[in-house]
Amino acid sequence: MENKVALITGASSGIGRSTAEAFAAKGVNVVVAARRKEELDSLVASIEAKGGKASAIATDVSKSKDVEDMVAHTIKTFGRLDYAVNNAGIEGTIAPITELSEDDWDKVMNINLKGIFLCMKYQAKAMVKNGNSGAIVNVGSVNSFLGFHSGAAYVTSKHGLVGLTSSVSAELAPQGIRVNLLCPGITITPMHHRIRNLIGDEVYDQGIIPKVHLQRAGLPIEMAKSILFLCSDESSYISGSTLTVDGGLTLTM
Ligand code: NDP
């Protein structure tokens, strides 16, 4: 992977930040994108302090122009694009369908689903134009397969990524670009803490964690390692697939 180039969205926090650090530790040049530029700048500084190469660009993945600029920035800065990790996502408003506003619904769809469509559209163009092979990893969720009470918008957006990923794999894999969906289980990040605050410690500690075969939540670095696997040649025959990294949560009742 050394001297290759990775673009990671949602890199200002949680799984995205950890993924950027893991790529940089492998000698990959990274472009980190999210809306909060100051968080990205501190990540770039910390990667550079360890001898890595990184560049930040403020991006809202729900905006076409931002996404086009993000990919152009990657090519301008490092000359190519080998790996794209489309991780940016929000939990949105957790509310019963009767209380969910149209704006709440649109916001989640625009970031979690349309955002990944836009990212792949411009990333694929850059990868094909450069004539290089590549790998794209989209980040779904265990909620790409399971519903949850009051989570209609989030769950629908994450289910949509299964079809988006497999369809785009059929288009891009023949051109040397593999496309897969990583589906994390409970992972300790700021998003996790927000949801934990909302639904309560008891629901997590007594309801959900005992169902995880490994009896614990996952760490961002454990998702990052799986994302690196899906980008690396070690996964050369995997495309259009989902990889569920949930410690066994979704496998038993
Ligand atoms: P965090 O809330 O910690 O991080 C989310 C990241 O997405 C932030 O960097 C945020 O940056 C970025 N982001 C949000 N909206 C936008 C936007 N419009 N444009 C660009 N970037 C945006 O969450 P996690 O690290 O936990 O989540 C990462 C992914 O993993 C998400 O897709 C999430 O759905 C998924 N996931 C997480 C699980 C968990 O338990 N943590 C479980 C299953 C899936 P900024 O605010 O600066 O824009």
pLDDT tens digits, 44-76: 999 999 999 999 999 999 999 999 999 999 999
Q: Per-domain residue ranges for the chain?
A: 5-251
> Mean per-residue pLDDT for 159-170?
98
Which residues neighbour 26 within 8 Å (Cβ) at sequence distance 6 or greater?
A: 1, 2, 228
* Strands (DSSP E) found in the chain: 5-9, 29-34, 54-58, 83-86, 134-139, 177-184, 242-245
Q: Which of 71, 90, 165, 250 to mutate to test the pocket of ligand 1 (most atoms within 8 A of CB)?
A: 90
Q: Sign of dihedral through CA atoms 14, 223, 237, 239?
A: negative
Task: Tell me if 87 CB under 6 Å of ligand 1.
Answer: yes
Q: Is the CB of 190 under 6 A from ligand 1?
A: yes
Please state the length of the chain. Answer: 253
Q: Are strands 5-9 and 83-86 parallel, antiparallel or unpaired?
A: parallel
Q: What is the pLDDT of residue 132?
A: 65
Tell me: the pLDDT tens digits for 210-219? Answer: 999 999 999 9
Q: What is the pLDDT of residue 2?
A: 87
Residues ≥6 apart with Cβ < 8 Å to 199: 94
pLDDT at 133: 83
Name, in order, each residue with C-beta under 8 angstroms of 250's C-beta and a sequence gap of 6 or more. 142, 145, 146, 185, 244
Q: Whose CA is nearest to atom 34 of ligand 1?
A: 89
Residues 19 and 1: their CA atoms lie apart, in Å, by 14
How far apart CA 97 and CA 105 sit, in angstroms, is 10
Q: CB-side exposure of 75: number of CA atoms within 13 Å? A: 16
CA 47, 53, 59, 61 torsion-angle sign? negative
What's the whole-number average pLDDT of the chain? 97
Q: 92 CB less than 6 Å from ligand 1?
A: no
pLDDT value of position 49: 98
Q: Can you tell me which atom of ligand 1 is nearest the CA of 184? A: 43
How confident is the model over 71-99, as pLDDT tens digits? Answer: 999 999 999 999 999 999 999 999 999 99
- C-alpha separations of 222 from 14, 40, 165, 209, 245 in Å: 11, 21, 21, 17, 8
Q: Is the CB of 66 under 6 A from ligand 1?
A: no
CB 238 within 8 A of CB 180: yes
Token pair for 44: 């770039």
H helix or E strand, kind and range, residue 197:
helix 190-199
Residue of the CA atom closest to atom 12 of ligand 1? 10
The pair of three-digit structure tokens given for residue 194, joined into one six-digit string: 């927000």
Whether residue 181 has its Cβ less than 6 Å from ligand 1:
no
Spatial distance between the Cα atoms of 51 and 23, rounded to a whole number of angstroms:
13
Among the CATH numbers 3.40.50.300, 1.10.1740.10, 2.30.110.10, 3.40.50.720, which is that of 5-251?
A: 3.40.50.720
The residue to mutate among 9, 19, 35, having the most atoms of ligand 1 within 8 angstroms of its beta carbon, is 35
Average of per-residue pLDDT across 159-185: 98
Structure tokens at 153: 């918008």
The pLDDT, as a whole number, for residue 190 is 98
Catalytic positions, please? 154
Q: Is the pLDDT of residue 130 over 80?
A: no
Which protein residue's CA is at the shortest distance from atom 4 of ligand 1? 13
Q: Whose CA is closest to atom 23 on ligand 1?
A: 191
Question: Whose Cα sits closest to atom 41 in ligand 1?
Answer: 187
Ligand 1 geometric centre to CA of 89 (Å): 4
Which ligand 1 atom lies nearest to the CA of residue 89? 32
User: Sorting pLDDT into bands at 50, 70 and 90, what band is 110?
Assistant: very high
Over the stretch 118-127, which tens digit does the pLDDT of each residue have?
999 999 999 9
Q: Residue whose CA is closest, atom 48 of ligand 1?
A: 35
Closest C-alpha among 56, 86, 79, 72 to residue 3: 79
Indicate whether residue 18 lines ligand 1 (CB < 6 A).
Answer: no
Rg (CA), the chain: 17
**Is pLDDT at 224 greater than 80 in this prediction?**
yes
